[in-house]
Structure 1
Amino acid sequence: MMGLLIESQKENEVKWTLESIAWYRVTEMLSRRKPWHCMAKGLILGCLLTGFLLLLYSYAIAPSQVAMAKASTPSRCSSPPTLPANITKGSCWPKLDIVFMKTHKTASSTLLNILFRFGQKHRLKFAFPSGYNDFNYPSFFKRSLVHNYQPGDCFNIICNHMRFYYSEVRSLVAPNATFITVLRDPAHLFESSFHYFGLVVPFTWKLTGHNKLAKFLQDPNRYYNPRGFNAYYLHNLLFFDLGYNNELDPRSPQVAEHILEVEQRFHLVMLQEYFDESLVLLKELLCWELEDILYFKLNARRASAVSPLTGELYRRATDWNKLDALLYRHFNASFWRKVEAFGRERMAQEVASLRRENKRMERICIDGEHAVDAKDIEKPSLQPWQAMGAKTILGYNLKKHISHQYDQLCRKMVTPDIQYMTELGVNLWVTKLWWYIRMLLQI
């Protein structure tokens, strides 16, 4: 009964928020004094959008909530580890069974692209969601969310956004699958999340002034509501993504227990600030080749859209995200222990090789050899997903003439998540429909 009351409350919050977004768009247009026919169009489209999303919610989300009450069918992947073909005698075997816990705003889209390319290259079996580009986030992951899942199914790679639920994920992969994730300095992650998700976190709408981030951090508890819609985006987001209570008291012994649990479950915890070093450790762990970890930065923001965190703001942001700070501090220390074991000099050489190859690929693939604003991206197929509001996420234009040897690789390296998933055969009809509606409403 309590569970049903909670779900009912969440449903009411979702409905209220959708209606608020529609009303927000209308009042915004009124404040700009647009001609009456533009305001009428906005009102009609806003109402239609709200009605459609409420209908979609009742069709897609509510049934999944009912399913949560049903006991999961005991089932476990019984497949042996996947072995690559054409292995040279004496060499190590590339590991092909991988779980990537994709955290938010941590360069995870770049790593996702690496995994997509690797999976395509070896014809691996991905566990993908259906209709969406995530596993019904922020709900906990369930194996039933995997497209066309049947009890006993086994997969090589799981890598889309989810709220981590270890036992459910573990049941879908071989016993010796490699688990990886990536963390980021919590203060900088908070700054990125605040600007990327702020418009869909209703309690931030009452913030005024030029620097809303600074105003929020002056007294977070004045604005923050832990039960507010999408509140998790703005408080200990890493802890939340990893499946834990992001509102725990930092002094609780549970915090240390959860951090130890992450250490036991994940074979490698990467750091966004040391992404190249992290990729080198990943290559070593998985016995991959240098060509497997080449990348261009994806989903990066325009520099002017990044709010600088002064010493005091940085301290406040870190203190506000204390659980994430404790998590990051622990794995920052363990990361450098891994680097020491790998060898500092060897690491420097490997990183230099990776950066040299990345630069070479930029010269081969990228027009102008740098990322550009969304408005300057020529092909719609290379347009990255943007946050609601200003388009601050950068993308790439490919050179007009690329040699046949590199043509496919160049295209794959710059393809955003949504388009790449479509290429891999995922039906993202809900995500795409929302994209078209946003383009129509210019939000």
Structure 2
Amino acid sequence: MKSPGCTPRHIRCLIIFSLCLGLIFLSGFFHMRNENEGKISKVHSELQIPSTPCRAKTNVMFLKTHKTASSTILNIMFRFAERYNLTVALPVDQLLHLGYPNTFLAHFVEGFEVIGQNYNIMCNHLRFNPSEVQKVMAANTFYFSILRNPIALLESAYIYYKSNVPAFRSSKDVNEYLASPRKYYHSADHRANIYARNIMWFDFGYDNNAENDTEYTQTVLEEIEQNFHLILIADYFDESMILLKHVLCWDLDDVVYFKLNSRSQDTVHTLTPESEERIKAWCSLDWKLYLHFNQSFWRRIEETIGLEALDEEVDQLRTRQKELMETCLLEQEAVGKDHIRNKALLPFQSGAANILGYNLRQDVDNRTLRTCQQLVMPELQYTSYLYAVQHPNKKRKDLGLPLLWDSSQDRVQLPTPS
């Protein structure tokens, strides 16, 4: 009997078998590698990792619309200008707005004849006029603005401008006004009544009494899209700040804020359902403007950040805001006008609104105190302060209020609280 052994035939079989196993293994390895590389590529795509480093935009024009949380954004813009020592296009002489409600002209800016097209930041109220704004701002300027739901906007405007606008002044309340607006809104007073109808349309430079013609409104919407890189939505303010941070490549602290020029809840009037529907018709141009850019806002969010990442960053913004409120504020919230201790921090009061402000803690160092003051400084005071810094040889804008910051001595000026 022959002992078992390996014949040449057996050896060839084993070699072929081994080669087959090796090929199968390699095939599986490369398949796994390609699949993993695909997953990594997908993750990088989802995270939207930029191919080049992000660089902060420092030439920015903000069209400050009325009653849209725009005073809070103005504060953000002014703080950013101070951080980077930027030049702000401020109202000339004793003006507090850039010629509003007149259509903007370049000579409404202090120093334009000397400074020319070298301003970095523009954000005070103006009625938009692109050709004149472009004379002031650099060619690579980023343009943005903000809109608000016209229903909430008109109620706010009614309270804030009640004593100044003829259409509001002659009606008992906002619901009575909306029940028959043409009874109170007279064409002869249209310049005095700009806040009473389609105010956002007017701020963008268009006729707020124009007919809601489809061809006309579509042309206007397209013009706004061409003139502005971004339109934010006040009803989603925190989300708007995160989007702005991404698009401008700014830091979180650049867009953190304390709400400014807001009013107490007891001055908010309840609109009837009928009044809400009437606003959509009475302010139909603003309504169309809002609906159009509300949609584009959320598309931009999806393209730039994504909803999941947006929620995380909004949480970070609110956490940082809470930290600063604990550091800066006595009550850690806004207070009514009668409870503001330092009258240098008293916001401008208008109409039947009770515009809220803040009380600062005094047990902080001088540097922290200045940071806190910047966060709470009302619009008119901040405009006046920057004007004095940028134009020290000009007469300071007279607000009839004590100074918050003495730039000549580089120290905080805090009048004794009353």
Residue 358 (structure 1) aligned with residue 321 (structure 2)? yes
Deviation at residue 265 of structure 1 after TM alignment: 1.2
Instruction: Name the amino acid aligned to 1:365.
Output: C
Mark the CA change 1:318 to 1:431 in structure 2 (over 3 Å): closer, same or farther.
farther
What's the counterpart of residue 332 of structure 1? 294
* 1:204/1:430 CA distance change after superposition, 3 Å: farther
2:355 maps to a residue whose letter is I
Percent of residue pairs bearing the same amino acid type: 37
Contact preservation (8 Å) 2:194, 2:202: yes
Seen in structure 2, the aligned counterparts of structure 1 residues 136 and 433 have a Cα distance that, compared at 3 Å, is: farther
Contact in 1 for aligned 2:336/2:354 (Cα 8 Å): yes
In the alignment, the residues of structure 2 paired with residue 428 and residue 394 of structure 1 have an alpha-carbon distance, to the nearest angstrom, of 29
1:179 match: secondary structure:
strand
Residues 37-436 of structure 1 correspond to what in structure 2 (within 5 A)?
91-130=53-92, 131-150=94-113, 152-208=116-172, 212-228=173-189, 229-341=191-303, 342-388=305-351, 390=352, 392-404=354-366, 406-426=368-388, 432=399
Give the C-alpha shift of residue 313 in structure 1: 1.6
**Relative to structure 1, is the Cα distance of residues 245 and 428 closer, same or farther in structure 2, using a 3 angstrom cutoff?**
farther
- Would the alpha carbon gap of residues 215 and 174 (structure 1) be closer, same or farther in structure 2, given more than 3 Å must change? same
Tell me the CA shift for residue 256 of structure 1: 1.1
Secondary structure in 2 matching 1:337: helix
Deviation at 1:203, TM superposition (A): 3.7
Amino acid at match of 1:257: T
TM-score, structure 1 normalization: 0.74
Aligned-residue CA RMSD (Å): 2.0
Asked whether the equivalents of residues 263 and 356 of structure 2 are also in contact (C-alpha less than 8 Å), the reply is yes
1:160–1:345 distance in 2 versus 1, CA, 3 Å: same
Per-residue deviation, 1:172: 1.4
Secondary structure in structure 1 of the residue aligned to 2:243? helix
CA distance in 2, matches of 1:249, 1:90: 47
Structure 2 SS opposite 1:361:
helix
- Matched residue type, 1:176: N
Q: Is the Cα–Cα contact under 8 Å of residues 143 and 149 in structure 1 kept in the other structure?
A: yes
1:428, distance to aligned residue in structure 2 (A) = 8.0
Shift of 1:314: 1.1
Counterpart in the other structure of 1:53: none
The verdict on how the C-alpha distance between 1:309 and 1:159 changes in structure 2, with shifts beyond 3 A counting, is: same
2:119 partner amino acid: F
| CA–CA separation in structure 2 for the residues paired with 1:213 and 1:308 | 9
Tell me the alpha carbon deviations over residues 315-358 of structure 1, each in whole angstroms, 9 at most, x when there is no partner.
11222100000000000000111112221101011111001100
Within 1, Cα distance between the matches of 2:130 and 2:161?
26
Unaligned runs of 5+ residues in structure 1 are 1-88, 436-443
Q: What SS class does the counterpart of residue 139 from structure 1 fall into? A: coil
CA apart distance, 1:434: 11
**Counterpart for residue 69 of structure 1:** none
Question: C-alpha distance in 1, partners of 2:229/2:343?
Answer: 37
Runs of 4+ off more than 6 Å: 427-431
CA–CA separation in structure 2 for the residues paired with 1:216 and 1:391: 18
CA distance in 2, matches of 1:307, 1:315: 16
Contact 1:106 1:189 in 2 (8 A): yes
- State the alpha-carbon separation in 1 of the partners of residues 168 and 142 from structure 2: 39
- What displacement does 1:311 show? 2.1
Q: Which has the larger radius of gyration?
A: 2
Aligned residues: 343
Contact 2:344/2:401, CA 8 A, preserved across alignment? no
Contact 1:237/1:246 (8 A) holds in 2: yes
Q: How far is the alpha carbon of 1:244 from its aligned partner?
A: 0.3
Which position in structure 1 is the counterpart of 2:40?
none
CA distance in 1, matches of 2:138, 2:111: 19
- Kept after mapping to 2: 8 A contact 1:203/1:223: yes
Report if aligned partners of 2:146, 2:231 keep a CA contact under 8 Å in 1: yes
Quick check: 229-238 or 322-331, which moved more? 229-238
CA distance in 2, matches of 1:329, 1:184: 10
- The separation in 2 between residues aligned to 1:428 and 1:242, in whole angstroms, is 31
Question: How far does the alpha carbon of each residue in 1:351-374 deviate from its partner, in whole angstroms, 9 at most, with x for none?
Answer: 110011001111111111111010
